[in-house]
Amino acid sequence: MDGRIPAGPQVSAVRTWLLVAAMSALARLPLFGPVLLIAAAGVAWGFWQLAALSVLWMLPALRQVLLPDALPGRAVQPDDQPELAALVRDVAARTGFGAPLLVRILPEPVVLTCRVRVTGGHAYALLLGLPLVRALSATQLAAVIAHELAHQRHFDDRRSRALLAARGALAERLEWRVRPPAPLAVPLLRATQPWFWQVELSADAEAARVVGGTAVREAVEQVAVIETAFGGIAQDWVEDLVEDGTYPVDLYEAFDLALQDPLVRGRAVHEDAEDQALDVHAASAHPPSAVRMAALPHSGSHAGYGSAPLGLRDAEAVARWCVQRLACADGPGGTLQEGGGVRGSALRPEDLKPVRLLELDPDRFRLPADGGPGAAALRAATGRSSPVRALHAALDAVAAADWYRLARRIDSGLRWRPAAVRKAVGRQVLAGAMGAALAPLLLEAGWSYAGRWMSTVLRAPDGAVVDLYEVLVTAVDGGDPAPVHALLEKAGTQKAERT
């Protein structure tokens, strides 16, 4: 399997390079517009002006070649983190990964390997996200590291890397406003997706050989939850506080607590499934979590790395470094750099005041009393002045199967989405706006928040817990507004009883 794409019949080198050429050409198709403009300018102004414009247009690419970005993350020295270094060495030995390996910590929940240049040749960098290091057990962390090292070992030849890069560029371009023609791009993505899925499943099988299928299955499930929850909760906290000139020094401590809430985990699973359902172009090179877990053997752990997270010796310093980098990267154009700098950002760590998130009022991150921008957008889109009337108008549109037009008025950017996903994204947009209008009405009627972390999961006076987002998405998707009307009627009755 080394150096080849391990999926069914092996693909010839000629066909692989033809696919690389086709996908690369399609990915660059949206860039032909600027090229034609430069050519027209050259015809009008002359050769030297054309050459100067071409050089200016190519400067970003030349800069990446001549001045590559420094390695992201914070370096892990074996003397500083002997437990983590020992785990990585042992997993590398068990997977047969013999190349030099640098370990670095990133603020986001990712696990990646990449080739890097070092004195005397090449090495590999293993990038570990701090949220995963803190939340996964040592055995689960070993599972994801084994997966990445096996993936790199079996998928590290020139044409495999070229195919992966071309496919990734084409998938990314399909999200642009000016995008390659879907009828040409999607068949190429669909034709190559099974190869990459097989690569991931093969890496899972290798990880299962090292730590057992049960540990890999648990790791796959945990990583999906952590990635989704971090993007939906923790990054929102950071962005909100950075706007006020602060950053949450206890971000990772608060996120650890949020992960223990079943409501947070349930929402993360639901959103992960929604994201996978939106991959209508077969752009993802990773199989859905359910597919990966179903393919794993049902076996116990083969390596006793431990059932508790692997603690870091200088955990507080690492967490502070990571949250500062994350906060500064949320500034304009920020890019994480080694040594504490943030390239392209106007923010520096010393520009922000540290605050403790867990000591702030939980209402700081919840919907305002009027429902905020979401409720305002619903009122504007429906032309109704009150939240109740706006909700009834939206529910009428749902019943008449005319809700997508309303969603477009709420978010005009829907028109730039690929046609295949517009309705699915529009459903989320409309449900979010309706939830922002509905939640304050229920709170005013005596409902309360079911937990600290979720703004749209409420507890009724009788103790029932309702996830408004799921209720609204189901109503829009099924064209049945009756459950939402029932909530509005209940809220009206309860409010009358309270007064």
What confidence score (pLDDT) does residue 431 get? 94
Query: For residue 63, is pLDDT > 80?
Result: no
C-alpha separations of 110 from 12, 105, 196, 410 in Å: 32, 9, 19, 33
- Which phi and psi angles does 463 have, rounded to 5°? 95, -10
Which tokens go with 464? 């029932």
Whether residue 8 has pLDDT greater than 50: no
Percent of the chain predicted with pLDDT > 70: 84
- Bridge partner residues of 465 (DSSP): 459
What pLDDT, on the 0 to 100 scale, is given for residue 399?
A: 94
Asked whether the beta carbons of 151 and 203 are under 8 A apart, the reply is: yes
* Cβ contact 179:239 at 8 Å: no
Residue of 198 and 258 predicted with greater confidence: 258
Report CA-CA distances (Å) from 19 to 2, 393, 434: 20, 50, 45
**C-alpha to C-alpha distance for 370 and 374, rounded to whole angstroms:** 10
Q: Is the pLDDT of residue 19 over 80?
A: yes
The per-residue pLDDT for 336 is 40
Per-residue burial over 161-172, b if 16 or more Cβ lie within 10 Å, else e, is ebbbebbeebbe
CA distances from 173 to 62, 65, 465 (A): 20, 21, 41
Alpha-helix residue ranges (DSSP H) falling in 368-456: 372-382, 387-399, 403-410, 422-444
- Strands of the 101-106 sheet, one edge to the other: 74-75, 101-106, 121-129, 111-118
How many other C-beta atoms are found inside a 10 Å radius of the C-beta of residue 385? 8
Q: How confident is the model at residue 247 (pLDDT cuts 50, 70, 90)?
A: very high
- Cα(494)–Cα(444) distance, rounded to whole angstroms? 9
The pLDDT of residue 249: 95
Cα(401)–Cα(405) distance, integer angstroms: 10
Query: What pLDDT does residue 5 have?
Result: 40
**pLDDT of residue 491 exceeding 70:** yes
Chain mean pLDDT for the chain: 83
Model pLDDT, residue 283: 81
Which tokens is 442 given?
A: 């229920």
Angle, alpha carbons 271-273-126 (nearest 5°): 85
Mean pLDDT confidence for 300-322: 84
For residue 449, the SS3 value is strand
Asked if residue 332 has pLDDT above 50, the reply is no
User: Edge to edge, what strands does the sheet with 448-449 contain?
Assistant: 448-449, 457-459, 465-467
- Amino acid 116: pLDDT: 83
Q: How large is the average pLDDT for residues 15-44?
A: 73
